[in-house]
Amino acid sequence: MAYEVLFKPMMIGKKNLKNRLAFAPVGMCTADSEGRVTDQVLCHYVARAKGGVGLVIVEHTMSNYRYGLPGSGALSIHEDTHLAGMLDLADAIHAFDAAAVVQLSLGLGRQAALHLEPVGPSAVPFEVREGSAPRGLKFFEGLKSAPPKKLTIAEIEEMENLYVAAVMRLKRCGFDGIEIHGAHGYMLANFLSPLTNRRRDRYGGSFEKRLTLALNLIRRSREIAGDDFIIGFRISGDEHVPGGLPLEDTLKIAAILQKEGVDYIHLSTGTMESWKYTFPEKEGVILPEAEAVKKVVDIPVICPNLHDPKKAAQAVKKGKVDIVSLARPLLADPQWPNKVREGRIGEIQRCILCNGCLSTLFQGFASRCTVNPNVGRERFVPEYFPPPRKSKGRPI
Ligand SMILES: Cc1cc2nc3c(=O)[nH]c(=O)nc-3n(C[C@H](O)[C@H](O)[C@H](O)COP(=O)(O)O)c2cc1C
């Protein structure tokens, strides 16, 4: 079968995945006002795990609540009152034999302009220029921020400490790992990028120093969570903004991440200032950057934006990427993987790339999908209810 390459098991770190398909992180903002798991969060993830992916990467999740999105419904694991819900979430994903990794974030950084006081490594203002946004997000064009507040060394150290505490919480909840969010122009990406990091201390001043924060997070997470815990890293191949992180720097960073023991690299592209690259209006746009990264590392490379099962299978078969992550396609049809596995290609409800999911979300509504009426409403669909636990549970 033309698609069997997508269903070949593989390892990331020490974990065996049943196939080469992942649910990409998709922030839905349906947690409660403090970022705790709700029934909607659980049912949304049951739908995707039940659809047959081998890996679920849980959406942008805050490690601290200072630089995140208070009150927005963004998921968070910044304190112990979040443990119970996150444990339910890990169990719900595992019930369908999918590995469960959480995309752990330091916050929105200088792109917090919409919601909070922007902060970052340096006081470089942020602007969404005409022509930089894709369909559905054009209303962002023209948005400008005041220069962000420059973080002090003590504030950066505190952010690191809170991150490591959050990693430990996720491990206690039974997650298989984390994906460090270093993409899309958010806080950690602000430190990696020459455009936004103009510091002259141990967190900036040279290519190597711009990596200090990322390497501290990797090393300290590994130390506390151990070798069995997956540590992935998401990065934008190219920021596609003048003076931003170029692909040639990302290739050097990728090699360093591998040396530091990162278990996989999840490619993305762009920032909020170049969102037409991050959420492309056609598919296959991110593949060339992922392929370039794949050439410089031996660890698995994950790439999104391959919606057509044929293109996804070809990319894996030709060794351009190891795992295909699906974001909008799994909103449109959570059963995409099962349908491909069973050869029911014609039954897939295709994403029409309208970005309605993002448009609703960024206007403060629950995300909706033009072709799938159940998106954002999975809690009302009995087939998406979490199953009863089969085991007696495990000691924490
Ligand atoms: C509604 C929505 C929310 C997203 N939230 C996140 C997120 O929390 N973290 C992240 O790294 N990427 C996020 N993304 C980007 C996706 O992971 C993915 O890289 C992008 O949508 C391109 O892949 P696709 O063509 O398969 O949709 C989001 C995308 C969508 C559509």
Q: What is the 3-state secondary structure (H, E, C) of the chain?
A: CCCHHHHCCEEECCEEECCCEEECCCCCCCCCCCCCCCHHHHHHHHHHHHCCCCEEEEEEEECCCCCCCCCCCCEECCCHHHHHHHHHHHHHHHCCCCEEEEEEECCCHHHHHHCCCCEECCCCCCECCCCCCCCCCHHHCCCECCCCEECCHHHHHHHHHHHHHHHHHHHHCCCCEEEEEECECCHHHHHHCCCCCCCCECCECCHHHHCHHHHHHHHHHHHHHCCCCEEEEEEECCCCCCCCCCHHHHHHHHHHHHHCCCCEEEEECCEHHHHHHHCCCCCCCCHHHHHHHHCCCCCCEEECCCCCHHHHHHHHHCCCCCEEEECHHHHHCCCHHHHHHCCCHHHCCCCCCCCHHHHHHHCCCCCCCCCCCCCCCHHHCHHHCCCCCCCCCCCC
The response to whether residue 31 sits with its C-beta less than 6 Å from ligand 1 reads: no
User: Does the annotation mark 384 as catalytic?
Assistant: no
For 3, residues 6+ apart whose C-beta sits below 8 A from its C-beta are 309, 310, 313, 340, 341, 343
The response to whether residue 27 sits with its C-beta less than 6 Å from ligand 1 reads: yes
The response to whether residue 22 sits with its C-beta less than 6 Å from ligand 1 reads: no
Give the closest residue (by CA) to ligand 1 atom 28.
26
Q: How far is the CA of 206 from the centre of ligand 1 (A)?
A: 30
**CB–CB of 188/198 below 8 Å?**
no
The response to whether residue 234 sits with its C-beta less than 6 Å from ligand 1 reads: yes
The tens digit of pLDDT for each residue in 39-97 reads 999 999 999 999 999 999 999 999 998 898 777 899 999 999 999 999 999 999 999 99
Q: How far is the CA of 327 from the centre of ligand 1 (A)?
A: 5
The response to whether residue 60 sits with its C-beta less than 6 Å from ligand 1 reads: yes
- Ligand 1 atom with the smallest distance to the CA of 24 is 17
Q: How far is the CA of 26 from the centre of ligand 1 (A)?
A: 5
The tens digit of pLDDT for each residue in 143-197 reads 988 899 999 999 999 999 999 999 999 999 999 999 999 999 999 999 999 999 9
Q: How far is the CA of 28 from the centre of ligand 1 (A)?
A: 10
Specify the fold of 4-13+20-307+337-383. Answer: TIM Barrel (3.20.20)
The response to whether residue 268 sits with its C-beta less than 6 Å from ligand 1 reads: yes
The response to whether residue 359 sits with its C-beta less than 6 Å from ligand 1 reads: no
Residue in 186, 264, 277, 384 annotated catalytic: 186
- Ligand 1 atom with the smallest distance to the CA of 268 is 19
Q: How far is the CA of 276 from the centre of ligand 1 (A)?
A: 12
The response to whether residue 367 sits with its C-beta less than 6 Å from ligand 1 reads: yes
Q: How far is the CA of 375 from the centre of ligand 1 (A)?
A: 15
pLDDT by residue for the chain (396 residues), tens only, comes to: 689 999 999 999 999 999 999 999 999 999 999 999 999 999 999 999 999 999 999 999 999 988 987 778 999 999 999 999 999 999 999 999 999 999 999 999 999 866 678 999 999 999 999 999 999 999 999 998 889 999 999 999 999 999 999 999 999 999 999 999 999 999 999 999 999 999 999 999 999 999 999 999 999 999 999 999 999 999 999 999 999 999 999 999 999 999 999 999 999 999 999 999 999 999 999 999 999 999 999 999 999 999 999 999 999 999 999 999 999 999 999 999 999 999 999 999 999 999 999 999 988 888 999 999 999 999 999 999 999 877 666 655
Pick from 72, 186, 328 the residue to mutate for probing ligand 1's pocket: most ligand atoms within 8 Å of its CB.
328
The response to whether residue 356 sits with its C-beta less than 6 Å from ligand 1 reads: no
Give the closest residue (by CA) to ligand 1 atom 24.
305
Give the closest residue (by CA) to ligand 1 atom 3.
26
